[in-house]
Structure 1
Amino acid sequence: MSVARNTLVQSSLTLASRVLGMVRDILLVATIGAGPVGDAWATAQQFPNLFRRIFAEGAFASAFVPTYARTLEAEGPEAARAVAQEAMRVLFAATAALTILAQIFMPWVLLLIHGGQADDPEHYNLAVLLTRVTMPYLTFMALAALLSGVLNSSERFILSAGVPTLLNLCLIPAALISDDPVTTAKAASIAYFIAGVLQAGALWWGVSRQKVHLSLLGLPRLTPAVKKVMMLALPGTFAASGTQINIIVSQSLASFEVGAKSWLYAADRLYQLPLGLVGVAVGVAILPRLSRAARALDDDSSRATMDEGIGLAMALTLPAAASLLIAPVFLIDAFFARGEFTTFDALQSGNALFHFAWGVPAFVLIKVLAPAFFAREDTKTPMRYALVSVFINTVLGAGLFFWMKANGMQGFVGLAIATSVAAWVNVTLLWTTLVRRDWYRPGPKLASGVIRALLATAAMAAVVLYLLRILPSVETHLYGSKALSAGVIVLAGGVTYAVAALITGAVRISDIRRTMRR
């Protein structure tokens, strides 16, 4: 199955999940709003969202898949099943222990990421309660990660890409339970717990259908195979989660500005769309092919896969990044400004979204470049670069945050700037290392494809800018609805890009036909 088709499967199901996720967030933000309760809710989501993105969206799987696939190919299904089962038992025991410790020490743990509001006991204690309820999601996502890795090794992507939808299906009813922000936040936290159980259960069923029968019963054992998996998985997981750790650092600093966490959360909902739809999907789709090419010492196949993956990622990411750069406040205002989330909140969130937007291509490229290292079982190099990224984000973010506040500006905007700068540094380090080691050198087809995608993006940007210029007229024809107007403008931009991409050759009909035949 081709990279494009695998990506299409991942992206289509992820798109369905993200659409439901937008509905979920619009409902939750409207009820909870931006303020101390909203900040407490954003804090409670940090752990489950971090581990969902690390585990469920492929980072742990990126470290696990090469070892599992190598064992499957060299020693057969039973040996691979044994590796998966032992690794799962160790992973479950470790994450369960971490969850229990977090429950006990949560009031002190949150001082690290919510310390700026520790002088507000009522809402700080609310954040502690909500995070205690959502924390077990970590254990379920650890199981889901390993089970997804088993499925992805066999190029079975549908179920692993589809299960995140269950989280949204649980959270949407929770958002409708009450008009009270605190009650809604509590209900949503419980929904996270329920969703974790359902997601892990669905993947367990999927793996069983592949005739891979695993069991949690039995003591965890650090066998040589498990040690190898963990040695690869731990740094690999950290390496692939550098962006998410940078978000945690930013949110921690944002706790010193009431409302900032809520504003960053709304911005995060939009700029994470291309990362989930494109970056994660392409990264997951190319890893099995890169692993096979690495085992066969097939450099030509490896480079062709990377060219295809990066080209596809940029063709789908550049128009999204341009849209977020052109109309950040308009998009936040159209989708989130209702109920307790005001137009002022939309303005603040849009200011952050603008600076996240120019980092979007870097966020996506990290997800596409890191698998080239994982496929060769080198997880330490991306981990070191992720650490550099976190260091830059922490130092630059803190410096900008307090400098901007001291000069009468909103400090949280500096956090968005630092996150994007750190991501581009990470990309630069990954790219130059791949070239220096001769693991990847981009071909002329990739350069040509990116230039064509940029031309198509410019055409799309012109159309969007024109529609924004005549926005009052657009809204008049759409019953004064900001949300409908935003939907129409986004659709018009998407159609324009699709047509321009075909005209410029950024996307070719022959490539689409070949993909569908495959």
Structure 2
Amino acid sequence: MSLVKKFATVASGTLVSRILGFSREMLMAAALGTGPIADAFNAAFQFPNTFRRLFAEGAFNAAFVPLFAKEIEAEGMDGAKRFSEEVFGVLFTVLIALTILMELSMPLLVSTIIAPGFVDNPQKFELTKALATIMFPYLVCMSLGAMMAGMLNSLRRYFAAAIAPVFLNVILIGVLGYAWYAGHDGLTVGYALAWGVLAAGLVQLAIVWVAVRHAGISIGFRRPRFTPNVKRLLVLAFPAAITGGITQINQLIGTAIASGKESAVSSLAYADRVYQLPLGVVGIAVAIVLLPELARALKSGNLKEAANLQNRSVEFTLFLTLPAAAALLVMSEPIVRVLYERGAFAAGNSTPTVSAILAIFGLGLPAFVLIKAFTPGYFAREDTRTPMIFAAISVVVNISIALTLFPDLGAPGIAIASAIAGWVNALLLLGFLIRRGHWGSDIPLLTRIPRLVLAAAVMAAAAYFAADWLSPYLASEAPLLVQATALGILICGAAIVYFAVAFGIGGADIRMIRRSMKRGAAPKIQADSD
């Protein structure tokens, strides 16, 4: 299976999840708007979600995958099974202890970390505390699930791990649909969503557990012991967790700061859902597939193949991300209007704020995706410390700018801080890869990047004038079907302009894409996918 096809396998599952995520957020916006219950739920869910990214996705995709792959190469499937059981025993024990500690400390955590701005509103504070208490065990399910997903990715079985997150949105859509049918009030909806998150965690864990067994590995529980392999994992995992979850860390910080103003938390959450579509489909897919492939190339001493993997991944991410960023910048208001402007959201006149946040996120989108493409260059060499330092620098930048801008600009100021911090992190990662000689100059890549930027700029200009021409059909007064049709025409027209210009001026080469599609992979250990 070629690199592009592997990207497509992961991206397809992520795309389904993100589309369903849109449906979920549309229903939530109609039911809760940007009011206090929406603020409380989004702040509460952000907390376990941040830990999931820190100690699950980031740590295990960065630290566990190379070590698991090494065990397969050195000791075969029996050695890999033994290693996974050692890790499972320690991970399960630590997660249970952490969950108990966090549950007991929830009042303190909400007042100091999750939403300190809610302290002055007792009802909002108590609701946030209750919802966070219900949802935090989701971390246990997702962390164990992330470990098993890492095993599946190492075995080149990408589909189950990519499709499992879909069920979070399926369950929450079901909860919101039933709440609408039964006529539940906002408070009941908030509690139902929290229990739905916990149920989704159990379902997602079951899916990857079954897939791992189907791959031929049955994980048994071993008494927790800090074996040399587990110690090595922990040494790599801690900085990798910080690095892999940097976007979530910045979002958690942004949520804490945003809790000081009404509706700011939910406004950031609704905008985040939209920009997560290109970030998830492109960035996460590239990171998941690139890491094990890059680790294999480096372990076999094939430096030329490793360099080619890195360059083609960056080329692929920019080819798809630059037009997405331009579209978010130019079309943010009609996108938000079509997706969210109904029910409680429309009554709150939330569209201008959310669309401004989304446009700013669009400026940071290429940086967030490039971070996903650059960090495997460190992780595959078992260097998780350097990216952690850069992540820490970006956090300092984010906090400083957010605290400076939030009093005057509100939630858009937090979005500006996040975008700037993302670019700082991406440039530091690239600079040190070049300095260490781990990123060779690639003439095709260097010549295509400015052409892709130009193609995206031409597309943005065309979309801007087209949006003005279609403005009567995109206005709030127009029926939803008319708005959606006009937005679809605008997006399709912009895509046609971008691809025509990109291929026309040499920013993309159809022959290169064909070669990538036909390019063979390394010898298989197991079947390519479930």
TM-score, structure 2 normalization: 0.92
Q: 1:218-229, aligned counterparts within 5 Å?
A: 218-229=222-233
Please state how far the C-alpha of 1:432 moved relative to its aligned partner. Answer: 1.0
Please state how far the C-alpha of 1:480 moved relative to its aligned partner. Answer: 6.0
Corresponding residue of 1:380: 385
Corresponding residue of 1:449: 448
Please state how far the C-alpha of 1:463 moved relative to its aligned partner. Answer: 3.1
Corresponding residue of 2:285: 281
Corresponding residue of 1:182: 187
Corresponding residue of 1:350: 355
Corresponding residue of 2:37: 37
Quick check: 320-329 or 245-254, which moved more? 320-329
Corresponding residue of 2:335: 331
| Greater RCO, 1 or 2 (C-alpha within 8 Å, sep 6+) | 2
Please state how far the C-alpha of 1:359 moved relative to its aligned partner. Answer: 0.9
Cα distance in 2 for partners of 1:515, 1:381 equals 31
1:428 aligns with 2:427: yes
Contact 2:4 2:517 in 1 (8 A): no
Contact 1:290 1:305 in 2 (8 A): yes
Call closer, same or farther: CA 1:172–1:489 in 2, change over 3 Å.
same
Cα distance in 1 for partners of 2:496, 2:211 equals 36
Identity of aligned residues (%): 37
Corresponding residue of 1:84: 84
For each residue in 1:244-271, what CA deviation from the matched residue of structure 2 results, as whole angstroms up to 9, or x when unmatched? 1011001100000011001111111112
Corresponding residue of 1:122: 123
Q: 1:23-102, aligned counterparts within 5 Å?
A: 23-54=23-54, 60-102=60-102
Corresponding residue of 1:297: 301
Contact 2:34 2:266 in 1 (8 A): yes
Contact 2:57 2:244 in 1 (8 A): no
SS at match of 2:343: coil
Cα distance in 1 for partners of 2:52, 2:278 equals 16
Corresponding residue of 2:208: 203
Cα distance in 1 for partners of 2:108, 2:264 equals 21
SS at match of 1:327: helix
Please state how far the C-alpha of 1:450 moved relative to its aligned partner. Answer: 1.6
For each residue in 1:90-145, what CA deviation from the matched residue of structure 2 results, as whole angstroms up to 9, or x when unmatched? 11211221111111111111112211011211121111111111111111111111
1:470 partner amino acid:
W
Quick check: 287-296 or 370-379, which moved more? 287-296
Q: Unpaired runs of 5+ in structure 2?
A: 520-530
Please state how far the C-alpha of 1:417 moved relative to its aligned partner. Answer: 1.1
Quick check: 16-25 or 492-501, which moved more? 492-501
Q: 1:364-379, aligned counterparts within 5 Å?
A: 364-379=369-384
Corresponding residue of 2:494: 493
Please state how far the C-alpha of 1:58 moved relative to its aligned partner. Answer: 5.5
Call closer, same or farther: CA 1:417–1:273 in 2, change over 3 Å.
same
For each residue in 1:146-194, what CA deviation from the matched residue of structure 2 results, as whole angstroms up to 9, or x when unmatched? 1011111112111111111111111101112324221111111111111
Contact 1:54 1:60 in 2 (8 A): no
Q: 1:185-264, aligned counterparts within 5 Å?
A: 185-215=190-220, 217-264=221-268
Please state how far the C-alpha of 1:457 moved relative to its aligned partner. Answer: 1.6
Cα distance in 2 for partners of 1:240, 1:504 equals 35
Call closer, same or farther: CA 1:52–1:5 in 2, change over 3 Å.
farther
1:465 partner amino acid:
Y
Please state how far the C-alpha of 1:454 moved relative to its aligned partner. Answer: 2.0
TM-score, structure 1 normalization: 0.94
Corresponding residue of 1:407: none
Contact 1:3 1:308 in 2 (8 A): no
Corresponding residue of 1:172: 173
For each residue in 1:304-353, what CA deviation from the matched residue of structure 2 results, as whole angstroms up to 9, or x when unmatched? 11100100011111001111111222221221111111262111112222
1:390 aligns with 2:395: yes
Cα distance in 2 for partners of 1:400, 1:426 equals 20
1:172 partner amino acid:
I
Cα distance in 2 for partners of 1:247, 1:260 equals 12
For each residue in 1:210-237, what CA deviation from the matched residue of structure 2 results, as whole angstroms up to 9, or x when unmatched? 111102x332111111111111112111
SS at match of 2:260: coil
Corresponding residue of 2:463: 464
Quick check: 381-390 or 294-303, which moved more? 294-303
For each residue in 1:423-470, what CA deviation from the matched residue of structure 2 results, as whole angstroms up to 9, or x when unmatched? 111112111111111111331111122223223323322332232111
Contact 2:56 2:144 in 1 (8 A): no
Corresponding residue of 2:527: none
2:189 partner amino acid:
T
Cα distance in 1 for partners of 2:489, 2:316 equals 25
Please state how far the C-alpha of 1:53 moved relative to its aligned partner. Answer: 4.1
Please state how far the C-alpha of 1:486 moved relative to its aligned partner. Answer: 2.3
Number of residues of Structure 1 aligned to a counterpart in Structure 2? 511
Q: 1:393-412, aligned counterparts within 5 Å?
A: 393-402=398-407, 404=408, 410-412=409-411
2:326 partner amino acid:
A
Please state how far the C-alpha of 1:517 moved relative to its aligned partner. Answer: 3.6
2:438 partner amino acid:
W
1:113 aligns with 2:118: no
Contact 1:478 1:485 in 2 (8 A): no
